[in-house]
Structure 1
Amino acid sequence: MRVRVPFGRREVVGIIVECRTHSEISLADLKPISACIDNSPLPDDWLWLCRFTARYYQHALGDTLHQSLPVLLRQGRPLEARTRERWRLTERGQAIPGEQLGRARRQAELLEQLRLHPRGLATGAITSQGFSRVQLEGLAEKGLIEAEQETLIESPVADYRSLLAEPALSLNREQATALATLHEGLDRYHPCLLQGVTGSGKTEVYLQLIEAVISRGRQALVLVPEIGLTPQTLMRFRKRFRVPVVALHSGISDGERLDAWLAAASSRAPIVIGTRSAIFTPLAKPGVIIVDEEHDGSYKQQDGLRYHARDLAIIRARHHDIPVLLGSATPSLESLAQAQAGRYRHLHLTRRASHHPPARLELIDLRGRPRQGGLIAPAIDAIRQTLTAGHQVLVFINRRGFAPALACHECGWLAECDHCDARLTLHRQPPQLTCHHCERQRPLPDACPECGSADLRPLGAGTERAEETLAALFPDTPVHRIDRDSTRRKDAFENTLAEVRRGEPCLLVGTQMLAKGHHLPHVTLVVVINADAGLYASDFRALEHSSQLLIQVAGRAGRAEHPGRVLVQTLHSDDPHLRLLAEHGYDALARQLLEERRAAGLPPFRFLALARFESPREIDAMTLADAAASALRDQLASSSGQVQCLGPVPAPMERRQNRYHVQLMLSSALRSKLHEASAWLAAWLESNREARRVRWSLDIDPQTLS
């Protein structure tokens, strides 16, 4: 339960997690609780998950509880759902016609308005029609209307025969087989990996599975990777079901988040949809957990409490003994390895609803060819032909801004960030240089600071440059740019997509915001400007993530009646991995990558933990990391090499935000041994005085080594 406790000169909200009869601290030194906030305990399943998360990710329990609670509950708001007034006619009001109210014309109009709504109207709905509080109170004094308080999210009706607001779609053979398999495991822990090509109808399988779960009086939790996918997912679910569907993501207000959290905890919300933090939503009657696009990196929290929502979904489903469904066109290698080992049921959807096969990647060699805004002549010709045919084109480039670098053509100077080991990105809207790592901005220089030359040129292409080039090449065709800069305004993303879905010929220029989950039925051509940007990064997962992104963005083409085409511009068209992906698809590449990972002793065949150290002084970070590594190796000397300690080494980007970053990696084939070593290291760092001058963190199962 939540309580108020004295903490220094102030009072803070604390959570009682255990009661004991004895204390190692003398009673004279213990402080009494000031007040108890709650009349009932916090949800058991929420507390269990927080305890597990803190233990597994080597994080403080207090901070884990704090991060997983809605903001208003952290501040001490009562554990009560918000309510609103709903006005209804009394028996007397139903019997009296409005004409009997004489000169009270507005009261008579209000009475007739309420007569049209037997279930009543909320106060907000009444005042929005021009009626006032005075008129409401006047009718109430006459005994013609009455108000009652209701929660903002009402309990669902018990009659599940009227569950659907619109009929379910018919399933093809693969979908029906997958759904039948999922139905077999509705009453037990049943992990399934649903691998379906883009456009194969995975969402319809989710919807019909949820229908079966709700009809049993249970709840469904659906995780989606990004906030941009939440509105369209919510719309589809609310059109299908007549029960409350609540959303939990960073784009809603604190009050809305609390309402949704409490509605889920009391089972008033049978369907909960949210991004990664929604995994901590308590469920009174859990029935199924669905993780859409389970491979997506956004499910991993990259700072503070570094949890992975997909992995917690698996653990939570096992705890509740309910099925969990992981869906993706390009599953993570971790999930594929679990399926290959027989621990997950592997279900396949290979056919698109449009009956067209997924578009294959066509590799176009960039070497020795002139470019316009990053595009070469064959790609421009293909764009022209597609627009002439009345279709839409998606040009994918995973770089914001106009150009990734600004250089002096005379001396070779490059604009670099003063606070990071990174180049500044040139932006034209507004004109400035921006670091995409620390977000610091600088005005454009008039001349080179090294040699004074005015011949400063942009290097490479970003979304702004591609947009400008396409607008010049195709002046009569609308060009829509979708990236983090162009969608900052509220509803800008949804408004642009709504315009695109009208079906008129247009050009879409976007980053990975466009690659996931969006149904763009009129796009028949996808052009990838530079496929090499992520293929050769220092991280061992770079090839996996880049190939997933290529397949996902390729899946935007040919989703309706016309087949799709995907052109991939690359400087490495002869790369064996890229050719394998283009010619034989993601499955073939994933099998090869798994064998390479097995041979190299990398996840998912070994488990990793990454200790990160950062300080304004490079020597402080490296000194502490060296001391920690030495102490840990001494501790591990008796473990017969079950845990390896690698490093310390500077991070791939050593200086970021004027702080130096050093890393120490732990690796083991046994998860239990890795956690023992990680817990020992965390305890050593917490007790080390030098560690107080250096910021450090432990990342269990890191998804990136940068």
Structure 2
Amino acid sequence: MIGIIVECAEHSDLPPKQLKSALAILDDTPVLDTPQLYLARWAASYYAFPEGEALSQALPALLRKGEEADFAHATLWRATANAALEQLSGTAVRQRELLDLLLRNPEGVSTDLLRVESIPVNLLKTLQDKGLAESFIHRPSPVHAEDRESSDLLREAPLTLNTEQQAALQQINSQPGFCTWLLEGVTGSGKTEVYLQAIQQTLTQGRQALVLVPEIGLTPQTLARFKSRFQVPVVALHSGLNDRQRLDAWLLARQGSARILIGTRSAIFTPMRHPGLIIVDEEHDLSFKQQDGFRYSARDLAVLRARQEAIPLLLGSATPSLESLHNAQAGRYRHLRLTQRAGGARPPAFELLDIRGETLSCGLSASLLTRMQQHLRQGTQVLVFLNRRGFSPSLICHQCGAVNECTRCDARMTLHRSPPHMHCHHCDRQTPIPKRCHQCGSDDLRPSGAGTERTEDFLQDHFPDTPVLRIDRDSTARKDAMKHLMEQIHTGKPCIMIGTQMLAKGHHFPKVTLVAVLDADSGLFSADFRGMEKTAQLILQVAGRAGRADHPGEVVMQTRHPDHPMLNALIRESYSAFANSELQLRHAAGLPPFTSHALIRAEATHQGRAEAFLRDIRETMEAQLNPPPGSHWSGPFPSPMEKRAGLYRAQLLIQSRQRSELHQLLRHILHFLTQHKGRNQVRWSIDVDPLDSY
């Protein structure tokens, strides 16, 4: 067991036989600095998660396995202090060649370099025996922030800011110490340029900047953008790195060598020797909230960390979360707005395309196909948005109507054609495509509905002379696949992109002039009270890919509800108008951000067991405690998808007007959960400030 010492005591209430001696102290100095330790312990308390596990997750995987908190050691070779070529005879040609190489490289030579130079590695032992060569352990030396002059920071000149960008940057730079800024800028308004110039100011002060992005897919392009602007060490921190790369990046950040850190949500726990600025890009994105295990919100922890470090925090989005907008309206955040697109680009024109009574081909209407053809003839690009992976959402028997369903989930299996298989996107179960119906034995099985694969095939047949690029989790699973697709798009040649929400986040496609949303109605009638907010954000984010450069753009949204008030508010007014209206509805209904929620989840192998466990929790708590005024219980009730991955799930919702009262109640509940006699028959968890569907 690898443990973390957080404090020492002279005495213990436990009997001596229950105490175990430490076998070894792994590190001479603390691996967690004071701000990190505080952040992890606070998060464990707030999110009702075991403190030891929270501290563990704040460390790179190699440290959790007991490795030394140091860079990988490399064994290099160098010439000894008194070595000279004259000490070797003229006939020892290869030995003289090797010694000459060592003398010319006093910092050390690796065996890999010798192989490149075609020099036999065994000659090193020969020179060592003659006292002419020696090996040594090389460790990277720290390069501190103050070692660079401010004039050496930039590789390329900053872009000229417009009036709104300049005003926002001046306000950010003029406020020393802790302050949370909400930068709300329409898509294409140049938020990234404001980030870059704010970071430049941070670097000139000898400090480091941490940039959080929602997904790994955005990390390479963000990394490339920052490296092209700054000639300082920029490192990435995300789950796509191997354990060694992750530890090395973590160490570079801790010692101050890495001046700019770019990572996904777990990077919020990365130490910085000279913290100066934290940026959370696309702050509204659900990816910043961990959905299992340690269910923390990196965006919310960024606020706490910035306050502890006494540094500014910049939250950026074209469609801010209602929580952040509420904090801005309440004065807790400073609100900055960018209403104009950078470079004079015009906002796209929106159109609701009524498809009631239309005959659709793989989800596309004839009028939309005609519109796509017009844009391609103009030499521009088209983006088609469909948030469904696979070939078809279901496989149905044409004789009896039976649907191929997952045996482990209350969900249909999705048909994939590349490679051919059935796939449950909830539990990851995969099976061969059935040849006959499991109920009636008929071989007349037909795909129903269209996913990105099927739409890709149709578009390729309909536009045979135009490349069709599919961008979803399946097509980008291979290493560098996303990079190659982006390179093809950025050539500017006409093409059609078909993809899921991966296309909606942060990408800059200057040649895209038409964005087609095939199903604008998905999410309009969700049981989740956040459904409207999520739908509006997704539509506006993907719509923002159109018309970002010199070419005007348009957004066509196919809908069977062209009179829906939310859709019309989005295209005729603004996101701010929609958000204010939604906030008023939330306030009237007593929903977040005006109340605080926590969800107790339970799952068990037998149906009804999880629900009975939560019912007992509620009844016991209500009998033993007087809930604070304004607190309310809902449930227990089965989860929206009751069966998932072979387990039956239930949940109990607790809401309160005061956050402190909710946490006081959770402390009592947590104690009872850990003592409950049925705790070994269910798996339970607590989700504070839940974001996913109830």
Taking structure 2 as the reference length, the TM-score comes to 0.94
Q: Deviations over 1:658-682 (max 9, x none)?
A: 2111110010110000111111111
Q: Is the 2:180–2:334 contact (alpha carbons within 8 Å) kept by the matching residues of 1?
A: yes
User: Mapping of 1:218-617 within 5 angstroms?
Assistant: 218-617=207-606
2:601 pairs with 1:646: no
Structure 1 stretch 117-126 or stretch 501-510: which is displaced more?
117-126
Question: Which residue does 1:9 correspond to in 2?
Answer: none
Amino acid at match of 1:670: Q
Q: What is the alpha-carbon distance in structure 2 between the residues aligned to residue 118 and residue 520 of structure 1?
A: 48
Q: What is the alpha-carbon distance in structure 1 between the residues aligned to residue 419 and residue 231 of structure 2?
A: 46
Q: Is the 2:280–2:316 contact (alpha carbons within 8 Å) kept by the matching residues of 1?
A: yes
Alignment partner for residue 649 of structure 2, among 661, 667, 678? Answer: 661
- C-alpha displacement at 1:362, in angstroms? 1.3
Q: What is the alpha-carbon distance in structure 2 between the residues aligned to residue 666 and residue 381 of structure 1?
A: 51
Instruction: Name the SS of the counterpart of 1:36 in structure 2.
Output: coil
For structure 2, the 5+ residue unaligned runs are none
For structure 1, the 5+ residue unaligned runs are 1-11
Instruction: Name the SS of the counterpart of 1:25 in structure 2.
Output: coil
Let me know the Cα RMSD of the aligned residues: 2.6
Alignment partner for residue 686 of structure 1, among 663, 666, 674? Answer: 674
2:151 pairs with 1:161: yes
Amino acid at match of 1:76: G
Corresponding pairs, count: 691
Structure 1 stretch 659-668 or stretch 157-166: which is displaced more?
157-166
Q: What is the alpha-carbon distance in structure 1 between the residues aligned to residue 554 and residue 110 of structure 2?
A: 51
Q: Is the 1:83–1:152 contact (alpha carbons within 8 Å) kept by the matching residues of 2?
A: no
Structure 1 stretch 399-408 or stretch 693-702: which is displaced more?
399-408
Structure 1 stretch 455-464 or stretch 80-89: which is displaced more?
80-89
- C-alpha displacement at 1:358, in angstroms? 2.1
Alignment partner for residue 66 of structure 1, among 37, 51, 56? Answer: 56
Distance 1:135 1:512, change over 3 A: farther
Question: Which residue does 1:7 correspond to in 2?
Answer: none
Amino acid at match of 1:642: G
Question: Which residue does 1:184 correspond to in 2?
Answer: 174
Alignment partner for residue 610 of structure 2, among 605, 621, 632? Answer: 621
Question: Which residue does 1:82 correspond to in 2?
Answer: 72
Amino acid at match of 1:322: I
Taking structure 1 as the reference length, the TM-score comes to 0.92
User: Mapping of 1:52-201 within 5 angstroms?
Assistant: 52-84=42-74, 104=93, 108=97, 111=100, 124=112, 127-134=115-122, 149-151=138-140, 154-156=143-145, 157-185=147-175, 187-201=176-190
Q: Is the 1:642–1:673 contact (alpha carbons within 8 Å) kept by the matching residues of 2?
A: no
Q: Is the 1:86–1:123 contact (alpha carbons within 8 Å) kept by the matching residues of 2?
A: yes
Q: Deviations over 1:53-86 (max 9, x none)?
A: 1000000011111222111101111122224467
Q: Is the 2:79–2:102 contact (alpha carbons within 8 Å) kept by the matching residues of 1?
A: no
Q: Is the 1:294–1:327 contact (alpha carbons within 8 Å) kept by the matching residues of 2?
A: yes
Q: What is the alpha-carbon distance in structure 2 between the residues aligned to residue 101 and residue 383 of structure 1?
A: 75
Q: What is the alpha-carbon distance in structure 1 between the residues aligned to residue 461 and residue 95 of structure 2?
A: 59
Q: Is the 1:110–1:131 contact (alpha carbons within 8 Å) kept by the matching residues of 2?
A: no
Structure 1 stretch 644-653 or stretch 40-49: which is displaced more?
40-49
Q: Is the 2:492–2:511 contact (alpha carbons within 8 Å) kept by the matching residues of 1?
A: yes
Q: Is the 1:154–1:244 contact (alpha carbons within 8 Å) kept by the matching residues of 2?
A: no
Amino acid at match of 1:516: K
Q: What is the alpha-carbon distance in structure 2 between the residues aligned to residue 220 and residue 101 of structure 1?
A: 56
- C-alpha displacement at 1:394, in angstroms? 0.9
Question: Which residue does 1:637 correspond to in 2?
Answer: 626
Structure 1 stretch 505-514 or stretch 455-464: which is displaced more?
455-464
Q: Deviations over 1:361-405 (max 9, x none)?
A: 311112110111110011101111111111111111000011112
Q: Is the 2:405–2:411 contact (alpha carbons within 8 Å) kept by the matching residues of 1?
A: yes
Amino acid at match of 1:161: S
Q: What is the alpha-carbon distance in structure 1 between the residues aligned to residue 96 and residue 134 of structure 2?
A: 11
Amino acid at match of 2:282: E
Q: What is the alpha-carbon distance in structure 1 between the residues aligned to residue 681 and residue 349 of structure 2?
A: 53
- C-alpha displacement at 1:103, in angstroms? 5.9
- C-alpha displacement at 1:242, in angstroms? 2.2
Question: Which residue does 1:30 correspond to in 2?
Answer: 19
Question: Which residue does 1:8 correspond to in 2?
Answer: none
Distance 1:215 1:451, change over 3 A: same
Q: Is the 1:195–1:329 contact (alpha carbons within 8 Å) kept by the matching residues of 2?
A: yes
Amino acid at match of 2:197: Q
Q: Is the 1:438–1:656 contact (alpha carbons within 8 Å) kept by the matching residues of 2?
A: yes
Distance 1:176 1:89, change over 3 A: farther
Structure 1 stretch 693-702 or stretch 278-287: which is displaced more?
278-287
Q: What is the alpha-carbon distance in structure 2 between the residues aligned to residue 453 and residue 370 of structure 1?
A: 28
Structure 1 stretch 200-209 or stretch 374-383: which is displaced more?
200-209
Q: What is the alpha-carbon distance in structure 1 between the residues aligned to residue 292 and residue 342 of structure 2?
A: 39
Q: What is the alpha-carbon distance in structure 2 between the residues aligned to residue 295 and residue 79 of structure 1?
A: 34
Instruction: Name the SS of the counterpart of 1:217 in structure 2.
Output: coil
